[in-house]
Structure formats: structure tokens, C-alpha cells
Amino acid sequence: MPHVVEMKKITKKFPNVIANDEVDFTLEQGEIHVLLGENGAGKTTLMNQLYGLYTPTSGEIYIHGKKVDIKDPNVAIGYGIGMVHQHFMLVEPFTVAENIILGSEPKKGIRLDIEKARADVREISNLYGLQVDPDAVIHDITVGMQQRVEILKALYRGAEILILDEPTAVLTPQEIEELGIIMHRLTDQGKSIILITHKLKEVMALSDRVTVIRRGKNVETLVNENTSVDQLAELMVGRKVNLEVDKMPREPGEVLLEVENLKCHNNRKVPVLKGCSFNVRAGEILAIAGVDGNGQTELVEVLTGLRKPESGSIRFAGNNIFKAHTKDIIEEGISHIPEDRQKRGLVMSHTLAENSILGSHKKEPFSKNGIMNYPKIHEYSRGLIAEFDVRTPSENVAASALSGGNQQKLIVARELMRDPMMLIASQPTRGVDVGAIEFIHKRLVEQRDHGKAVLLVSLELDEVMALADRIAVIYDGAIVGLVEGSKATERELGILMAGGSLNKTAEDKEGDHGKNN
């Protein structure tokens, strides 16, 4: 039997970059095939060519043994290919049913047959066991639900081959588990699934086969049973990596940051922090865990002076920093690794030298009486680059010329070299390669060991559990639970992240069992 999909020697060149270099990929009937690689390795580019968003520079694509030319997504849909993108493409004010039928609406004359649409959606959701409420409006349902809608949308268009691009990034551990069940149910019904990810644990849990891509070339295709997390990590990065974080127990010092009953609004003037309280002590890593969009971004912005809070109190080392200006907060000794390095962390058109003093540009020796001392700045920047192993030809290149991982290293370098009393690290390893993750984690632990306070805000539960001394779970703008890092379990955190409470854990467990049976 021919392969469902066979991509032969696919090469895709962009100006200055070869994103895919003679990549081969095959998908078998009914399998879950993971496409594994670091950020920027070319996974999504390869799949975008299968889905018709890009055309390959050279190479051939076969579907069920027949050579095809996929010029645009409509052609791909015609061949039964469906793609669920990392960022959902749903119309927020529309209902679930309206979103699913969008683009291939059932009609009565020229009018939309909404009754048939709802019936169709019910039928298809029963068929695949993907329960959704056809009449719910998208912005009222959870992210996990929205993802289901995206999958249903693809199935409604007759997809036999599903491409899921980093589907777990936005889900709680429980939702990830559920997604796994859904995927297996789909493959049982004869669908074939391509899963794009860079998370090793998921690969082991979910896949039948894995194809590893590194720097645009395929490295190897492995069968799940014959591989391990360590082997995959090595293939992905190209060298041995230490995935464990070495961390000695340490007695924390006095409380440095005290946040009480903090409230603030988002840009649309909707309350997002609804009474958030916690504290961080010197010599500890406090991690804020939670599903994206529960107020983490706003919390960090308020703490660093980038957003004005409504009410509550923030004290740092005894000083009131509620509504303080960013400049003064930096002055207090708080460093900040922002979640979006390109938006907040760097001025992309500035050189590395100029970027390495952002925030301390008014301090000696970098400037005096308003005149910049560029020789000193360059010298300092060269020091940062050397010590933090930022890969760059020199400090004179623009920040935009660096890879994501190296940009992040530069920010980490800048923030740590300021020798802060406290570091606020917001998703410090988002979108950086495994090597850089290892490096950044080491530095965070080092800060803690030197008696600094570290506030880590992360969506990656693995990261939180590996680094934190204490874990505070944020849900709907408030801290809903505080767990010792060493005692935390993924399950426990997952319940808190979904808005549940640990007191009811026992009941929930029973309930869950009931459902699964």
C-alpha cells in the first residue's frame, strides 16, 4: 500500500535562508507521526508546503502514491489535508457551529441553513467523540475547546490527514491528556496525524513514529518504542544535553517582594488581576504557573511598572513600589526578563552594544552628564557576550541579526550583570533552543544560590517543576494555590490551573474515574 503522504527531497529556500534542505518525510495510514525539532528548524515550513501555504523550491509530494502539486490550501483540502495552526484561526464572536461550517456552509437557496449546520456539527462531533456545544460563542469557551473546534473544522472539510502545529502549547496537563485520547480515537477511525512539536515528553507519550529535523535537514526517523527522551534531545540539538536541572536545597532568606490583593485592568479595561497576593523571599525561586491568559502578563507588567494597577499593595525590600515608574523599579534592584523579547526586551535596530545597556544607559560609566561613553559601552558589551556565550560576529551588529536563543541570552546577560536583588523572569525560555534553555536554567538557579529572589512566570509546567522552590498557581487573576516545589505533582498543578481546588481533589478523582469508565 502506498504511503498516505510522501515528501521527497523537499527544499525550500527563502532569501538568505534555506529553511528545508532535501527533507524526506513519509506518513503511514493511521499513525501519529511527530515532526520534532527546535524552534526554527523548519518543521512548520515543511508542513506549510504540504498544506499549500508555500510552494517548495524543489522536491516532490505524493499523496496516496500520486504525485501532486499543492498550489494553495484549497488544493490541500481537496486532497483531504487539514491543518490546525498554533494560533487558532477562529472568528471570536461567532458560535462553534458557525465557525466549523465557515467556508463550506450548507445553504437553503441563497440563505445559510443554520439548522442543518448545527445538525451537521452535532453529527460529526458524535462521530469522533469530540463533544462541543454548537451554540456556544468562541470567546466564551476554553482554549482546549477552541482547539477541538479547530480539529472539527478540519474534519468537517473531510480531512483524512491532520496536521497539528504545536497543539499543546496552550493546554493544561489534563487537556493535553485529553488531546492524546482524541488523537488516538481519530487514528482508530483511519485518520493519519502529523504532530509538530519541540516537547520531548509529548513525543514519547503520543507518537508512533518520530522524524527529527535539525537546521532544515532531516536527521532520522525513529519508531517510538526504540527511542528515548535523551536520544531525541541529542538528535534534536546535535550534542548531548543535560535536561536535569542541578539544584541543591537552600534555606530561603527574608521576604523581599510582598504583593497583596493586587488588582488591575487589561488594555480593554477589563479586570484581569482580581486580588492577587503572594510573596517572594531572597534565595528562592517562586514560580507562577498557569494557563496562558490568566493574568500572568499583566502581573509582570504591574510589578515592573509597565502597567498601572488599580488597587492593592506592592512592597519591595520594605519600600512601596505600587504605581512606581519603571526607572525607579530598576533602580530598586529588580531586573526583568520580558516574555516577548522582540517587543519588550530589545530595540532590534540598535546594536548589541546599545542593547546591552538599555535601562542603565544613564548610569556611569556608560554615560556622564548626558554624554554616552561608547568605548566603555562596547567594552562592557564584549564582556557580556563573552561571559554569556552570545553567538555573534561582534557587538556592532544589530540585535535583529541574532537568533532567538542568542537574543534571549543577551537579555539574560544584561539583566543579570546589573546584579539585581530580584529577577523577574517571564517565560525566559520561550522559543529558544534546548542548549539555551539549559544555559538559562543554570543561570536562574545560580541567582537563587547567590541569595537573590527569583520570580519565574512560565507556561511550561516542566520548567516550573524543575526550577521552583515554591509554585503559586494563577487562575483568573488570582493565586489559587501555593505548593512546595519538591512536593508538587503535575496532576495537582493541573487541577489548580484549570480553576479547581485541592480540597476537592478526592472527589474530582472519583468523578474522573467515573467518566473514564
Partner 1 sequence: MEKTTESRWAQLWDNFKFPLLSIFLAFLIGSIFIILTGNNPFVAYYALISGSMFGMSRIGETLLKTTPLIFTGLSIAFAFRCGLFNIGAEGQFVIGTLFTVTAGYIFRDLPAPLLIPIILTAGALGGGLWAAIPGVLKAKLGVHEVIVTIMLNYTALFLTNFFIRTSLNPSTLQGDVQKAHSVILGENARLSNMSDLMPIFGSSSLHTGIFIAVAAAFVMWFLLYKTTMGYEIRSVGSNPFASEYGGISISKNIIKAMFISGMLSGLAGATLVSGLTFKIDQAPASAGYGFTGIAVALVGKNHPLGVLASALLFGILANGERKMQIAGIPKEVVGIIQGIIIIFIAGEAILQYFPDLKKKFRRKGPKTEVAEK
**CA-based Rg of the chain, rounded to a whole angstrom?**
25
Strand 161-165 relative to strand 81-84, pairing: parallel
Please enumerate in sequence order all residues whose Cβ is within 8 A of that of 451, keeping only pairs 6 or more positions apart, or say none. 253, 282, 283
The smaller minimum CB distance to partner 1, of residues 92 and 340, is found at 340
Residue 150 or 301 having the CB closest to partner 1? 301
* Minimum gap (Å) between residue 57 Cβ and partner 1: 10
Supply 161's cell numbers.
Answer: 490527514
Closer Cβ to partner 1, 39 or 326, answer by number: 326
CA distance 272 to 267: 10
Residue with Cβ nearer partner 1 (305 or 500): 305
- Least Cβ distance, residue 343 to partner 1 (angstroms): 5
Integer CA distances (angstroms), 56 to 12, 19, 161, 177, 251, in order? 5, 10, 19, 35, 56
Of the pair 89, 347, the CB lying nearest partner 1 is at 347
| Residue 401 beta carbon to partner 1: minimum distance, rounded to whole angstroms | 12
> Between residues 69 and 484, which has the closer beta carbon with respect to partner 1?
69
Task: Measure CA 54 to chain center.
Answer: 24
Interatomic CA distance for residues 497 and 492, integer angstroms: 9
Phi, then psi, of 15 in degrees rounded to 5? -50, 125
C-alpha cell at 357: 545597556
Q: Evaluate whether 460 touches 278 at the Cβ level (below 8 Å).
A: no
- CB of residue 18 to partner 1, shortest distance in Å: 15
Using the minimum distance from each CB to partner 1, give the nearer residue, 3 or 418: 418
State in angstroms the smallest separation of the CB of 412 from partner 1. Answer: 14
Other CB atoms within 10 A of residue 495 CB: 24
Residue 208 has a CB neighbour count (10 Å cut-off) of: 16
- CA distances 27 to 6, 32, 50, 224, Å, are 6, 8, 12, 14
Query: Please, what is the Cα angle at 448 between 446 and 453, to 5 degrees?
Result: 140
347 vs 386, beta carbon nearer partner 1: 347
Residues that bind partner 1 (CB under 8 A): 14-15, 55, 67, 69, 71, 304-306, 325-330, 336, 338, 343-350, 354, 358-359, 361-362, 367, 370-372, 374, 394, 396
- Phi, psi of 23, deg, nearest 5: -85, 135
Q: What is the 3-state secondary structure (H, E, C) of 169-230?
A: CCCCHHHHHHHHHHHHHHHHCCCEEEEEECCHHHHHHHCCEEEEEECCEEEEEEEHHHCCHH
Least spacing, CB of residue 421 vs partner 1, in Å: 16
Shortest distance, position 306 Cβ to partner 1, whole Å: 6
Handedness of CA 335, 341, 342, 344 (dihedral sign): negative
What is the Cα–Cα distance from 419 to 414, expressed in whole angstroms? 9
In the complex with partner 1, the residue whose CB is nearer, 135 or 364, is: 364
Question: Nearest approach, Cβ of 67 to partner 1 (angstroms)?
Answer: 7
Q: How far is the CB of 43 from partner 1 (least distance, A)?
A: 19
